């Protein structure tokens, strides 16, 4: 389902084609927080893979803060976290990112956003999609003013279950498949 872009989209000029958000070029440190891998397939409405689609993500760091001038959250920024990245799907429509579990953050006095990752998918000939991916088992999901607008029957499409990553047992792995609509 379509989800709002949110106020902290970093803008096109900020993106660098890199799918590893756990390291910042030129720095020796690594991002704080639980390392996660997100992978999936971008397909059309007929379940056919969409090769060469642009997939962008942006998110808060482990403390729940975005690297954006308008983020009022006083939590510390992680200088070793990239906050956004982009990649392109391969011939089979597959993409992947290495990142960290984002922190929850206050959106208003009576509302904390659950951990989530923003996605923007674009390809010529398809309608651009902006959505958000959430984490299964997160207690704040049931109170989120954005996620709860999505009918419960559709939550499996955007709430992802993460498990131990067989390739790296210290990290978690989740599959987030995305469908985009032709123009």
Catalytic site positions: 66, 105, 113, 116, 118
The residues that bridge with 9 in the sheet, in sequence order, are none
For 141, half-sphere exposure in the C-beta direction (CA atoms, 13 angstrom radius) is 18
Alpha-helical regions (H) of the chain: 155-158
Q: Is 37 within 8 Å of 165 (Cβ atoms)?
A: yes
The residues that bridge with 101 in the sheet, in sequence order, are none
**Spatial CA neighbour of 1 closest among 162, 107, 174, 151:** 151
Calpha distance 121→43 (Å, rounded): 11
Spatial neighbors of 10 by CB under 8 A, at least 6 apart, are 58, 67, 68, 83, 84
Alpha-helical regions (H) of 60-174: 155-158
């Amino acid at each position: 389902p379509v989800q709002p872009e949110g106020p902290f989209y970093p803008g096109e000029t900020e993106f660098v084609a890199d799918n590893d958000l756990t390291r910042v070029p030129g720095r020796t440190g690594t991002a704080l927080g639980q390392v996660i891998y997100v992978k999936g397939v971008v397909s059309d409405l007929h379940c056919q893979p969409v090769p060469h689609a642009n997939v962008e993500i942006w998110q808060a760091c482990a403390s729940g803060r975005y690297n954006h001038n308008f983020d009022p959250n006083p939590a510390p920024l992680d200088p070793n976290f990239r906050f956004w990245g982009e990649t392109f799907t391969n011939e089979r429509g597959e993409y992947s990112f290495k990142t960290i579990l984002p922190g929850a953050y206050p959106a208003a006095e009576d509302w904390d956003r659950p951990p989530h990752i923003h996605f923007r998918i674009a390809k010529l000939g398809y309608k651009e999609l902006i959505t958000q991916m959430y984490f299964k088992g997160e207690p704040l999901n049931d109170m989120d003013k954005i996620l709860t607008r999505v009918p419960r029957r559709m939550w499996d499409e955007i709430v992802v279950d993460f498990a131990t990553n067989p390739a790296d047992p210290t990290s978690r792995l989740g599959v987030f498949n995305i469908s985009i609509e032709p123009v």
